[in-house]
Amino acid sequence: MPPPFRAEQIGSLLRPPSLISARRNSKASNHSSLDESSEDIKLLTRSAIRDALAQQLKRRIRPLSNGEYPRYIFFAGFFETLEGMQEFPALPVPEGFRTDFPTMTVLQKLGVKTRAGFVATGKVRWVRSAYLKEWEEMKQALAELCGGAAGQEADYGGGRELWKECKMAMPTIAWQHMLLKVGTAWSPSSGYTSDKEYFEDLAAAYRQEIRTLYDAGLRNIQVDDPNMTYFITEPFLSGCKKDGVDPDELLDMYIWVHNLCLMGKPADLHVGIHLCRGNLAGSVHVTSGSYERIARRLFQEMQYDTFYLEYDTERAGGFEPLRFLPREKNVVLGVISTKMAELEDIDMLEDRVKEAAGVIARAQNRTVEEVLEQQIGVSPQCGFSSMSEGGGIGVTENRMWEKLELVRNLAARLWPDRGA
């Protein structure tokens, strides 16, 4: 099956200034959920989601996203809701994290002294949904936009036909384990004696979260794992060796646990994974380099339907790693930048997508037309605001919508009979 959408977006949108200001003045934790926010912030968030969805409907931008407006940062929500997980809000940078971990290296240069982490201090168990409230809020907004009354039950209001055109994002299951100092993702008091035990319980919780969203009508999930690209960088690889960790074995474990999360996935649920190189405020990226070192193992061993890849600049390397993509999997090419304000030339973008299709076609002994028809979509390389106060230099709200319209127009040019 081809990607669900030929024109994609990666999820996060620039937050309205009013929402940013309210959150900045709030005393709530950066990891607080919408339920824990003040009534003012809840109202502002709901209004912002409704306005963003209205713009997407008006501009024919798909898949529909809530902009990740309920979250301070893209990975917020999941670990906080798990029984057995404890937040440590001020772990020292870089001492509390993996040796030479690329994110910490960048944050240290920016003057960041501490960062939060979540450690399993007991057995990990799913007790409530991390993202069901977000999904219900999104359905309610669609109901109101499609003629339903405010406060009407989303399941019975208008907009239900649009559920299949929505997408929500989740953080990678490996986020805390890969981030934290080796050996500290779970404490001795947790009852765990190995990473395998820790991940088995964490994956069970992940599957329950996915099932809960599915049962509530969601059919498209994106897993965000920018850290996986660290396996292409020498600093991370050398840091693993300093910590006494074999990076190949670590990558094997992460592939295993990603697949463990997908066990029993409903056949009509699409799940893709986004792999980029960091998206900090001010157009800051974290790593550079080709997917070559990890492409074969990720594309051929991970059981995701679609890979959302960063390909907006030379920072990501060439298209050659796409030769490892199996026929039964898709790639969404992030050829449009959220970091730069300039609008890309659509002719150049079309040529680049066809160049990528040519790499896949030669490897699969197929035609470029077959590959384009069956395996490729296009998108920005990342979200527009992976954290509340993020965003690319000079990228205004208006330019954000123009960029997403450019994605739509590129898809319409490449697949004129199918639309975006």
Helix (H) or strand (E) holding 376: strand 376-380
| Residue predicted with more confidence, 60 or 158 | 60
Question: Per-residue pLDDT for 416 more than 60?
Answer: yes
pLDDT-above-90 percentage for the chain: 76
Q: Is the pLDDT of residue 126 over 50?
A: yes
> CA dist 115 to 88, 95, 140, Å?
8, 11, 34
Q: What is the mean pLDDT of residues 114-134?
A: 96
List pLDDT tens digits, range 242-299: 999 999 999 999 999 999 999 999 999 999 999 987 665 554 555 667 899 999 999 9
Q: State yes or no: pLDDT of 19 exceeds 50.
A: yes
CB 202 within 8 A of CB 196: no
pLDDT exceeds 90 at position 2: no
Give CA separation, 266 vs 10, 158, 269, 273, 302, in Å.
22, 25, 5, 17, 17
DSSP per-residue codes, 212-262: HHHHTT--EEEEE-GGGGGGG-HHHHHHHHHTT--HHHHHHHHHHHHHHHT
Average pLDDT, the chain: 91
> Quick check: 387 pLDDT over 80?
no
Cα separation, 247 vs 227, in Å, equals: 13
- What pLDDT band is residue 36 in, cutting at 50, 70 and 90? low
Between CA 311 and CA 277 the distance in angstroms is: 10
- Identify any residues that bridge with 115 across adjacent strands, giving them in sequence order: 91
Residue type at 303? Q
Section 107-131 average pLDDT: 94
Would you give the end-to-end CA distance of the chain in angstroms? 16
Runs of H (alpha helix) within 89-233: 102-109, 132-145, 175-179, 195-215
- What does DSSP assign to residue 118? E
8-state DSSP, 279: -
Kindly report the pTM of this predicted structure. Answer: 0.93
- The predicted model gives 329-346 an average pLDDT of 95
Check the CA dihedral 234-236-239-240 and report its sign: negative
**Is pLDDT above 60 for 155?**
no
For 17-414, CATH number? 3.20.20.210
At 304, the pLDDT band (50, 70, 90 cuts) reads very high
For the purposes of burial, counting CB atoms within 10 Å of the CB of 17, is it exposed (0-12), middle (13-18) or buried (19 or more)? exposed
Reply yes or no on whether the pLDDT at 14 is more than 90: yes
SS3 141: helix
Question: Using CA atoms, how far apart are residues 49 and 144, in angstroms rounded to an integer?
Answer: 12
What is the per-residue pLDDT for 154? 44
pLDDT digits (tens, 9 = 90+) for 212-241: 999 999 999 999 999 999 999 999 999 999
Residue 110 has pLDDT above 70, yes or no: yes
As a dihedral over the C-alpha atoms of residue 389, residue 390, residue 395, residue 401, rounded to 10 degrees, the angle is -80
Region 12-39 average pLDDT: 75
Task: Find the helix or strand (DSSP H, E) in which 95 lies.
Answer: none
Q: What is the dihedral of CA 31, 33, 39, 40, to 10 degrees?
A: 50
The token pair at 47 is: 């209004």
The whole-angstrom separation of Cα 208 and Cα 219 is: 15
Spatial separation of the C-alpha atoms in residues 130 and 82, rounded to whole Å: 8
Domain residue ranges of the chain, discontinuous segments joined by +: 17-414
Q: Which pLDDT does position 78 carry in this prediction?
A: 95
pLDDT tens digit sequence for 185-219: 999 999 999 999 999 999 999 999 999 999 999 99
Closest CA to 71 of 36, 43, 42, 32: 32
